[in-house]
Amino acid sequence: MPFPHIDPVLIEIGPFAIRWYALAYIAGLILGWRYVIMLAEADRLWPKKSPLTRNDVDDMLLWVALGVILGGRLGYVVFYNPGHYLWHPLEVLYVWQGGMSFHGGAAGVLAAMFLFSRARKLPLTSLMDVTSAAATIGLFFGRIANFINSELWGRVTDVPWGVVFPNGGPLPRHPSQLYEAALEGILLFAILWFLVWRLGALKKPGVVTGAFICGYGIARTFVEFFREPDAQIGYLAGGWLTMGMALSIPMALAGAALMWVFANRAAGPARTK
């Protein structure tokens, strides 16, 4: 299949440009924020009543955005291309060129939510639960933006839906960005939605966070078998392990452990609105 030529820049006026990549992050944050409001206002989902007020959710958006952007960029710099940025430190700021790490973004959001919970005296597990439930929305849009940017494409393939990316050579490749959008975005959102709205998982704080971490780790590890490793890193031990796998397999195991621990822990008291 030929690559659908979509200009990464939606609108450009002189030096000012609006890119699909930036719009994907904005859409993920805004739709995720609206979904968290829905969760916070549904008292029936919580042990007694929601520990979050509308003001809490509104203020949390800025903290999450900073955690995603700062953590995601620094994670990419440290995990995937430290040598390049050591010699070109100013390019760390060039986020519009791509280069964001989910694992770094997750660490950034965790740090942001820890500080926010301390500042507002809110339960960290509940904050992480609603953030995790909404994070899949951002993952979906982010992976679509990766496809539009023709980055993070997959390995060479002969499947009928292989795509010839403009910067990926003459051979068709797996559209691994779309695989990730489907698994990390749509499927994982559906699983977490079922846990929250059907099984009442928010009544056991920490379970949704564990499920998200575990689900992402499994989905990302699976897709790594189809995704081309970063050129500057290549394959790790044994010629099959990628950096994405090395970071995601421990996530899957840790997420499963967190689910088990929090599912067997009594729910704590909710904050009164």
Q: What is the mean pLDDT of each run of 10 residues along the chain (273 residues)?
A: 78 73 87 96 92 94 90 80 77 68 86 94 95 95 90 93 92 96 97 97 96 96 92 74 90 96 71 48
Are 251 and 217 contacting, i.e. CB atoms less than 8 angstroms apart? Answer: yes
CA distance 142 to 127: 22
Tell me whether residue 2 is in a domain.
Answer: no
How many residues are present in the chain?
A: 273
Q: Which two tokens stand for residue 49?
A: 């009543």
Tell me whether residue 268 is in a domain.
Answer: no
Q: Provide the Cα torsion 86, 240, 144, 127; round to 10°.
A: -80
Tell me whether residue 9 is in a domain.
Answer: no
Tell me whether residue 6 is in a domain.
Answer: no
Tell me whether residue 12 is in a domain.
Answer: no
**Predicted local confidence at residue 20, as pLDDT:** 78
**Predicted local confidence at residue 214, as pLDDT:** 97
Taking alpha carbons only, the member of 99, 69, 102, 105 closest to residue 82 is: 99
Are 152 and 227 contacting, i.e. CB atoms less than 8 angstroms apart? Answer: yes
∠ CA(241), CA(243), CA(244), 5° rounding?
95
Tell me whether residue 42 is in a domain.
Answer: yes
- Domain around 27: 17-263
**Predicted local confidence at residue 97, as pLDDT:** 61
Tell me whether residue 49 is in a domain.
Answer: yes
Supply φ then ψ for residue 70, to 5 degrees: -70, -45
| Strand runs labelled E in the chain | 9-13, 16-19
Tell me whether residue 132 is in a domain.
Answer: yes
**Predicted local confidence at residue 272, as pLDDT:** 46
What is the domain count for the chain?
1
Are 156 and 173 contacting, i.e. CB atoms less than 8 angstroms apart? Answer: yes
Taking alpha carbons only, the member of 260, 219, 234, 189 closest to residue 32 is: 189
